[in-house]
Amino acid sequence: MAEEMKTENEKTARNFIENEIDKDLKEGVYDHVVTRFPPEPNGYLHIGHAKSILLNQGLAREYGGKFNLRFDDTNPQKERVEYVESITDDVEWICGEKPPIYFASDYFEQMYECALRLIRKGKAFVCDLSPEQIREYRGTLKEPGKNSPYRDRTVEENLALFQEMKEGKCEDGTRVLRAKIDMASPNINMRDPILYRVAHLEHHNTADQWCIYPMYDFAHPIEDAVEGVTHSICTLEFEDHRPLYDWVVRECEFENPPRQIEFAKMYLTNVVTGKRYIKKLVEDGIVDGWDDPRLVTIAALRRRGYTASSIRRFMELCGVSKSNSSVDYAMLEYCIREDLKMSQSRMMAVLDPVKLIIDNYDEGAIEYLDVPNNQENPELGTRKVPFGRELYIERDDFMIDPPKKYFRLFPGNEVRLMSAYFVKCVGYETDEAGNVTQIHCTYDPETKSGSGFTGRKVKGTIHWVAVPTAKKVQVRLYENIVDEEKGVYNEDGSVNVNPNSLVVCDNCYVEPELAEANPGDKFQFMRNGFFCVDTKDSKQDAPVFNRIVSLKSSYRPK
């Protein structure tokens, strides 16, 4: 038994869901564990969904059980095949494997039979009240509801009317099938909830086979029961729905019914996760799709360059609880930095270039220098990088009149060119507006990196790219889509969009090797951050680089 194999320390460190499952297994309520992730295919998944995915997969793996991906596709009005495909891809990516895939629509016939069973038991009735009247009859949190005038129809009458609904003889919104529970229940979800509604809509899986569709609260527990789910792990907003969940599986007479357990959602600070808000950003052209790297949909994080392992680590740090709380976005950025810093090559890329000319270097000469791929991880080896008389450096690595403690290049100062030589600034040129156009230096050939030179030291080191071999690329610098100083949303519900959330740099130069990078490849650009080759807009020999995250972190693990 799983419980018996745990040490005392492991037991105390376990979360409350594991403790409940341990108890169920020990008491023989279940002899195995089956979990599922049940998204509605009405949009793309976001970072909050990752918690549920990994929690359910992790529990199944921990107990040697089974984990399913199951689409709750009971509302064809909002569902699309595009969403099904994106969710499938995201779940497989974040889990590292493709789970068995099921659809609620696979069980429409069984749901219909369950509805008939409830009618025959006197537990469901066809109601002709309008949607407005149903809301009126429902009551409030302080006042009980009142029975529908159609509540006492006979079993035979209800069966006949429900058949008419199924045969398409009723217009949308004219009739529903409702459970017969208790209109005076303190839990509004138990006040004769709707089980089926009429909807003449085309379904992505069943086409026009059905014109009645089950409501989520009726369909969901049946799906779980049919699939043999043991523990229905869901978020806290479904806690008040649990009595209805239990009522459905009990009254439909399922053996070994699943058990619902709720946990707290994960909220990230200053991000947009609501599907309707993201959809509006897409429709208004503010972002270029559900996978725009400024968003926190899983597809967007993937495109930006986040790894599945970094998201898994993030979820481990967040933990599982029954109390809602917010997590700083900086924690997610910390996880991707930690994931990439030792595993990716550190390349030289100049995002805002100015030309540096070494006056005493042979004109036309090119030499290839040995440059470590990652100074902190020697196992990644070295590469040959071309070096010559003319280089590009970052514009902010040179100042004519620098402040104190500025250790980079300025007239009369000497710095090291990374993995190359010491150079000393001997002059500069400007245009009519006073902008620096060229920097002139001399180099000391005795100071070549790796030569063991110890004659003098310099305080500054700057990166560079050789002009003759440099490749021009586009680099995109992403920030939060939200203007954090103003908050996430305006009073009208629109998103406070950060006007600087995307800066496109078209005049960037990189090492020649980077021009051959493939979509999805990741690198650290010296002093500029971690970058990923965009999977959507990159073309052969013309990669587009997305900044995944900057190098500096405001988060420190506890």
Q: What is the DSSP string of 396-421?
A: GGB-SSPPTT--SB-TT-EEEETTS-
User: Confidence band (pLDDT; 50, 70, 90) for 555?
Assistant: low
Say if CB 226 and CB 208 are below 8 A apart. no
User: Is it the case that residue 1 has pLDDT exceeding 60?
Assistant: no
Considering Cα of 483, then 486, then 489, then 494, what sign does the dihedral take?
negative
Q: Scan for tokens 């409350």, then name that residue.
A: 16
User: Is it the case that residue 535 has pLDDT exceeding 90?
Assistant: yes
| Percent over 70 (pLDDT), the chain | 97
Return the DSSP state at 360: T
Considering Cα of 104, then 107, then 108, then 110, what sign does the dihedral take?
negative
Nearest one of 436, 448, 446, 444 to 392, comparing CA atoms: 436
Q: Please give the full DSSP string across 139-154, using - where no structure is assigned.
A: --SSS-----TTTT--
Q: Cα separation of 246 and 241, whole Å?
A: 9
One-letter amino acid identity for 115? Answer: A
Q: Cα separation of 342 and 321, whole Å?
A: 32
User: Confidence band (pLDDT; 50, 70, 90) for 86?
Assistant: very high
Q: Cα separation of 529 and 547, whole Å?
A: 7
Nearest one of 203, 245, 232 to 108, comparing CA atoms: 203
CA angle 217, 74, 300 (to 5 degrees): 105
Q: What per-residue string of b and e applies to 499-520 under the rule 16 or more CB within 10 Å gives b?
A: eebbeebeebbbbebbbebebe
**Mean pLDDT computed over 29-34:** 96
**Mean pLDDT computed over 118-125:** 98
Say if CB 192 and CB 218 are below 8 A apart. no
Q: Cα separation of 461 and 124, whole Å?
A: 77
What value does the mean pLDDT of the chain take?
Answer: 93
Bridge partners for 66 per DSSP = 34
User: Is it the case that residue 483 has pLDDT exceeding 80?
Assistant: yes
Considering Cα of 527, then 528, then 530, then 533, what sign does the dihedral take?
negative
Nearest one of 284, 308, 280, 281 to 292, comparing CA atoms: 281
User: Confidence band (pLDDT; 50, 70, 90) for 554?
Assistant: low
Question: In what order do the strands lie in the sheet containing 346-347?
Answer: 346-347, 522-525, 529-533, 544-549, 471-478, 502-510, 349-350
Alpha helix locations (H) across 63-167?
A: 81-95, 108-120, 131-138, 155-166
474 membership: H or E segment, kind and range: strand 471-478
User: Is it the case that residue 328 has pLDDT exceeding 80?
Assistant: yes
Return the DSSP state at 274: -
Please classify residue 364 by burial: count the beta carbons closer than 10 Å to its beta carbon, then call 0-12 exposed, 13-18 middle and 19+ buried. exposed
pTM value is 0.90
**Mean pLDDT computed over 217-231:** 97
User: Confidence band (pLDDT; 50, 70, 90) for 82?
Assistant: very high
More confidently predicted of 273 and 191: 191
Instruction: Say what the pLDDT of residue 487 is.
Output: 77
The torsion of the CA quartet 468, 471, 472, 475, rounded to 10 degrees, works out to -140
Report residue 8 CA to chain centroid gap. Answer: 35
Q: Cα separation of 215 and 221, whole Å?
A: 11
Say if CB 342 and CB 307 are below 8 A apart. no
